[in-house]
A and B are shown apart, each in its own frame.
Chain A
Amino acid sequence: MRGVSVKRVVVENSFAEAFDMRATALIITADDLKWARQAAMAMTGFATSVIGCGCEAGIDRELTGAETPDGRPGVRVLLFAVSTAELQKQVLTRVGQCVLTCVGSACFGAIAGEERLKLGAALRYFGDGWQISKKFGGRHYWRIPVMDGEFVCEATIGMTKAAVGGGNLIIMGASPRNVLNAAEAAAHRIGATRDVIMPFPGGIVRSGSKVGSKYKALVASTNDAYCPTLKGALASKLGREIASVLEIVIDGLSPEAVSEAMRAGIAAIVGLGPERGALRISAGNYGGKLGRHHYHLRKLLS
C-alpha cells in the first residue's frame, strides 16, 4: 500500500476502523501501590478481547494518594464491552472475584457517566447482613466486613456510551527485534496518554485477526495477509523486506482519547527510525463499513 515517508518510516495511506462501546472506569486503592496494582492486574486479566473474554480491560494509569477518594495509592482501570448488560456482568464478576478478594483493597467509580452500573449495590450481599451503607460527599459507599477489615466499595459507578474500541496500529519491520522495539516504544508512549488502555499483553498483540474463517464455527481467524511466513503463499499485504508484524489495539473513553493515543504511538515509532524500529506503519480496517470511527493515519501525523 502507498504511503508517506516520515523520517524514512512509511506511514501507509490507511485508517483504523473502530467501534462504539460501553465503558466504565474504576479506581482501585490499597495500602500500597503494589497491592492496588495486584488487584487491578487480576481484575483486568483475561480481558484482551470481547470476542473471547466478554470485555476488554486494562490499567489506564497509576494514581497518587492525592488523586484517590480515600487518600491511598491506587490505579485507574478501564473496562469496555459491547453492551450495558455485558459490562454490568463483567464489572460485578471481576470486582467481586479479583478486587474484593485482594488484601486491603477498596473500589470507587472514576467517571461520571450518563448511566450508572451497580457495584457495591450488588456486592454488598456478600456482607450477609453486616454490610453498612455510608453516604459522604454525595457519594454512596458500602462497607462489607472481610477477614482483614472492611472492603469499601462505591454503590454505583458511571458508564459512558461514548467509548471507542478498536483503535489500532499495525507495525511492520525487517526483524522481530526491530518490530518489538517499535511496538514497545509506541506502547510506552500511549501508556502515558489519558483515558485509554491497550488490552493485550504488554499492550501488544501478535495474533491480529480477520473476520471469519474457513471453519464455520469460528467468527475470526488469523490475519493471514499480515503473517510473514505466508507471504509467498497467498495475497500478502507484506513486502519482501517485512519479516515481522505486531499490532497495538487501543480502547478509549472517547474518540478524541483514541486519536491522541494513536498520534502518540505513531510519533514514537517514527521517532525510533527504521534502523532500530519499524519500516512501515499501517492500520486495520474492514473497508469502513463496520465501525463509524475512522482514524486516518496521515491525519495523525503531528
Chain B
Amino acid sequence: MSALVFRLKQAPDRRIDLSGLVPEALQGRSELAIARLPLDGSRDKLKVADVFGLRMGDPMSLRFDGGSERFDLVGAGMATGEIIVDGPVGAQAGRLMRAGTLRIQGDAGPYAASRLAGGRLEIDGNAGERLGAPLAGEMAGMSGGIVIVHGDAGSRAGDRLRRGIVVIEGRSGKDAGSRMIAGTLVLRGEVAGAPGPLMRRGTIVLVDGDCSTLPTFSDCGSHRLVAARLLAFELERLGLRFARKLKRPVRRFAGDMAISGKGEIWIA
C-alpha cells in the first residue's frame, strides 16, 4: 500500500502546528475525517484540507509533498510508522518523538529532536540551533533514539543530551554538546569553538578533523577502544561509512573538569 500523501497547496501564510498529523493519530480515519482535522496553532481554525490536498494511502507511512519553514512540530510525539517531508520544516520537528522514522528532505528549524526519546530523525539539509535540546525550563534533552543531520547544525547541538546518538555530518555551531548529561554526539565536520562546555558525562566524537578543546578538558592519550568499535558498527549500520575511522585509535580528552565532569571527547 502506498503512502498517505499531504500535498502542499500553497506556501502557508502563518506558522502551523502539524503535531496532530502523525501515523497513530490518523489510523482508522477516512479521507474526509482527515481533511477536517483542525491544525492546532492557527488563529482562524485552519483544517487539513485548507493547507493540503490529500491522497489516501497507508496512514503508517505519511508523506508531505512540499514543506515549509512555517511547519512546526512535524512528527512531534510520533510513536510508530514513518513520516517523510519533501522540503523544509520549522521548529521542533520530532519533539518528544518515541518511535518510528521521521525524514526531513530539507532544512529543519531550531529545537529539532527536542527531548526525542526514541525512533530515528534524519535531516537531509541543515538543522537550526539547539538540536535535541530541552525547551526553557526542562531539565534534560534527548533521552534516546537516533538523530542524523547530513548538513550543518546550529549552536548548542546536543544541549543537555541524556541518552541516544546525535550525528552531524556537516559543520556544527558553537557550544556543541553543552551541558551533556550522557549519550553520544558525533560531529563529523568543522566545529565552531570548543565543544562540550559543562558536560557532566557522555561522549562527543570528532571525526575528520581537529578542534580546539576547552582548557578544562584533560588529554588522556590515544587508545584503541572497544566502545569506539561498537559505535563504529552502529553508525555503519545506519549507513554512515565515515564511522570506520573509529576503529583506529582515538585521542581521549576527559572533562568538563570545570564541573568535575566525567564526560569525554574522542578525536578520531
Contact = CB atoms under 8 A, between A and B. Distances in A.
Interface of A: 29, 69-72, 106, 129-130, 132-137, 141, 143, 149-150, 152
Given A69-B233, A141-B230, A132 B223 contact: no
Interface in B131-162: 144
Contacts of A130: 262
B59 to A, nearest CB: 26
B262 A152 contact: no
Interface in B214-268: 223-227, 229-231, 233-234, 237, 247, 262, 264
Interface string B155-187: 000000001110000000000000000101000
Given A129-B262, A134-B184, 7 more contacts: A71-B233, A132-B203, A134-B203, A134-B230, A136-B231, A136-B233, A143-B225
B201 interface: yes
20 contacts: A69-B230, A70-B229, A70-B233, A72-B229, A106-B226, A130-B262, A132-B203, A133-B182, A134-B230, A135-B144, A136-B165, A136-B233, A137-B230, A137-B237, A141-B230, A143-B225, A143-B226, A150-B225, A150-B227, A152-B226
Interface string B79-116: 00000000000000000000000000000000000000
B230 A149 contact: no
Q: Nearest 10 pairs between A and B by C-beta?
A: A152-B226, A136-B234, A137-B234, A70-B229, A106-B226, A143-B227, A136-B230, A70-B226, A149-B223, A152-B227
A208 B226 CA distance: 43
A133 B203 CA distance: 10
Contacts of B184: 134, 136
Interface in B188-221: 201, 203
- With most chain B CB atoms within 10 A of its CB, the pick from A72, A133, A136 is A136
Contact of B230 (A70, A129, A132, A133): A70
Contact of B247 (A71, A106, A132, A152): A71
A135 B237 contact: no
A130 B164 CA distance: 20
Contact of A150 (B163, B226, B231, B262): B226
A152 B230 contact: yes
Contacts of A133: 182
Contacts of B237: 137
Contact of B225 (A72, A135, A137, A149): A149
